[in-house]
Chain A
Amino acid sequence: MQTTGFATEELVINMGPQHPSTHGVLRLVLALDGELVLECIPHIGYLHSSLEKICEQRTYVQIVPFTDRFDYLAALANNFCYVRAVEQLMGVEVPRRCEYIRVLMAELQRITSHLVWLGTFGLDLGAITLFLWCFREREVLLDLFESTTGQRLLYNYMRIGGLRNDLAPGFIEKARAFLTSLPDRMAEYDQLFTGNRIFRARVEGVGSLSREKAIAYAVTGPTARGSGIDVDLRKTEPYSVYPELEFSVPVCDTNDCLARYEVRLEEMRQSRLLALQCLDALEKMAGEPHAAKVPKTIKPPAGEVYVRVESPRGELGCYLLSDGSDTPARFHWRAPSFANLQALPIMARGGLVADIVAVLGSIDIVLGDVDR
């Protein structure tokens, strides 16, 4: 018998739907040459729950708790987007105090969302301690949210024309105390993680997404800003009270996982500043109403509207088509995670298996948002 030498073949392997670092039930089909990734195809839909269709069967008021469940790590941002869409459809003007509370909540939510991202990103790279440190801070914020909304994850807090209720007593002081301590906490993360050489080696130059590709794939949010695209709806299409607040939008043009990491960390600092400004404004506005008067049954006039806000993951859009009844004729959710995930194969190809985990962590998807 004659030996013909070793025959090598591609290893096709399923990463997920049950896998510790696909951040939910995402399935990636990988073609591997050893540890080298030749092809990476995301298969989505494992968490699909027809939420958009369900929303079309509900009245406008009933939809709010459903929006919580899209991007469950940033429920308040979802609330915000939806109620703004309905308000725009109806032409409702909300009180300024309400807007400030909404922005405050949205920014605090951005911090909690980024804390989860930072923790799980550390977990993906094998730094387990960072995860629990982040959750320590997130816990404080969740307690704050709970005091006001009664919930810790899916808040169902915002209402068409206002809010479910006012801030809880003592909220402003507690929030300020937390925000004051946040820089110290973040310095700890930097000490543990940002400066770590192993961490830098794992993320520098990994998962490159060029500016052109990012635009072509409609990537938004920190993922886009990590590719040098200066797009942030809070600045480019200012809504609510953002024009009155001072903040900057971090952009990094090295296109790699480190860029996205640094953008998000800086965003947390900026969100902190925004929240502090909101707290100052709210203190001056004590006693003002937190909701506008809206009719009991909400029947917006026939028409359509597309409203978008900057969620922690990028451009979050809500399309509503009204036929004049009390349920939307069409409800569509433009999910940032869905668009951002499509760019994963570009970033993953040519890397190693471990890089996929880093890239997936760095684009920060929430499968509830991807599949809906």
Chain B
Amino acid sequence: MNEPSLTGRLIAWLADLVRGFGLPEPLVQIVGWIAGCLAVVIAILTTVIFLIYVERKISAWIQVRIGPNRVGPYGLLQTVMDALKLMLKEDIMPAASDKGLFVAAPLLVFATAVVTLCVIPWDSDASGGELSIGLLFISSVASLTVIGIMMAGWASNNKWSLLGGLRSAAQMVSYEIPQALALISVVVWTGTLSLREIGIGQSGWVYEWNLFKYWLWIPALVYFIASIAEVNRTPFDLPEAESELVSGFNTEYTGMKFACFFVGEFASMFLVSLVFSALFLGAWHTGVPALDKIVPGPIVMYTKAWLIVLVMMWIRWTLPRLRVDQLMGFAWKLLIPAGLVSIVVVGVVISVGLTY
């Protein structure tokens, strides 16, 4: 391993600090994991607060409005206040709902979004918890979200919620396939499931990023589109299609339970953006080797994820919504074949030895 990065050095310094208290080494490890994951989760949840603010501002600009500007400077505290309001709201549970599932659903959705954040690599030697099968972990845990949403739709005992839950099940299951196929292309190309190693493989100049290698822009596109569908955003926001299903699976939810869904959705939006930048956009590399030594990796990752999220917001406020059959057709007739083709292409390229 070459010299530690800026973030790596910071972590090492913190670990030494903990060792200073005279803790045994295994305990230091455990403290490190917990602290790392907590730091990531707290950072992302804070980010989500501002994502919601930015979403509202961007939608306002696109729609020739002003957007939130009353609470705090430039309305920056608007979401904080909204969250506070949600905490204070009465927690209504429909009388005929399945109580256990009704409570479990938002927690599950929220937890899956948060857990996956921990394995994101922020630098060559910094992540919440390094896993050699990080990619597999992310795609399998992220697919648990659909169970939460179905639970919510079923437990609400509301026909519109049920329709929303069913739509979401069909949609997420369909879109996970192209997403996974896109991931496989990358795995075939890089030969590893570890997000960290995929990131390391993209060091150097911009053209070393996976996005610019051979045909990898196809899986990149497939992954991006499927991700938008995974996080239920326009044009794929059918599970909660407001004009059709009232609010879909979360119609019956209020207060903090609703907030869990809401924050979970934004957290997973940020998560897929992080994964996208780790897989295709050079992870923590700036694309200019000289700059990599100065700019800390986490900042680079964070900025890239923000940019991708901004694109998602832009798409959301521009496009209408697909119909349910068109949605499925798009996944099965276009994205999945594209994903399969890209695996074949990447496979052929590698076996012929065209890699550079």
Contacts and interface: CB of A to CB of B under 8 A. Distances in A.
Nearest to A360: B243
B324 A354 contact: yes
A126 interface: yes
A19 interface: yes
A285 interface: no
A131 B64 CA distance: 11
A177 interface: no
A352 B325 contact: yes
Q: Is the interface of A mostly helix, strand, loop or mixed?
A: helix
Interface string B130-161: 00000000000000000000000000000110
A35 B326 contact: no
Contacts of A122: 320
Interface stretch (A56-64, A105-113, A195-203, A288-296): A195-203
B16 interface: no
Contact of A125 (B64, B163, B245, B321): B321
B235 A198 contact: yes
Contact of B324 (A123, A193, A198, A352): A352
A281 interface: no
A199 B163 contact: no
A357 B317 CA distance: 19
B105 to A, nearest CB: 21
Nearest to A202: B323
B318 A126 contact: no
Nearest to B324: A35
21 contacts: A19-B246, A20-B246, A35-B167, A35-B325, A126-B243, A126-B321, A127-B320, A129-B62, A132-B64, A133-B64, A136-B64, A192-B318, A198-B320, A198-B326, A201-B326, A202-B321, A352-B325, A353-B163, A354-B323, A357-B243, A357-B244
A357 B245 CA distance: 10
A21 interface: yes
Interface of A: 11, 13, 19-21, 34-35, 122-129, 131-133, 136, 192-193, 196, 198-199, 201-202, 352-355, 357
A193 B163 contact: no
A35 B169 CA distance: 14
A20 B242 contact: yes
B88 interface: no
Contacts of A352: 323-325
Contacts of A199: 320
Interface in B201-226: none
Given A35-B163, A192-B318, A202-B323, A128 B59 contact: yes
A202 B320 contact: yes
B63 A128 contact: yes
Interface string B231-243: 0001101100111
B332 to A, nearest CB: 16
Interface residues of B, number: 30
Name the 7 nearest CB pairs between A and B, nearest first. A126-B321, A132-B63, A127-B320, A21-B243, A125-B320, A13-B159, A354-B323
A73 B156 CA distance: 36
B70 interface: no
Interface of B: 59, 62-65, 159-160, 163, 166-167, 234-235, 237-238, 241-246, 317-326
A324 B166 CA distance: 63
A211 B318 CA distance: 34
Contacts of B64: 132-133, 136
A202 B322 CA distance: 7
A127 B319 contact: yes
A251 B322 CA distance: 27
A133 B63 contact: yes
A196 B315 CA distance: 12
A136 B65 CA distance: 9
Contact of A126 (B166, B241, B325): B241
A126 to B, nearest CB: 3
Contacts of B246: 19-20
Contacts of A353: 163, 244-245, 324
A136 B64 CA distance: 8
A129 B166 CA distance: 27
A357 B167 CA distance: 17
B320 A11 contact: no
Given A129-B63, A354-B238, A355-B323, 6 more contacts: A125-B243, A126-B319, A129-B318, A133-B64, A352-B324, A357-B243
Contact of A11 (B62, B159, B235, B242): B159
B171 to A, nearest CB: 12
A125 B326 CA distance: 13
Contacts of B324: 35, 352-354
Contacts of B160: 13
A143 B237 CA distance: 36
B156 to A, nearest CB: 14
A353 B319 CA distance: 19
A354 B63 contact: no
Contacts of A123: 243
B320 A193 contact: yes
B236 to A, nearest CB: 10
Most central of A13, A124, A129, A136 by chain B CB within 10 Å: A129
A69 B235 CA distance: 36
A131 B243 CA distance: 13
Contacts of B166: 34
A126 B237 contact: yes
B232 to A, nearest CB: 12
B286 to A, nearest CB: 34
Nearest to B160: A13
Contacts of B326: 198, 201-202
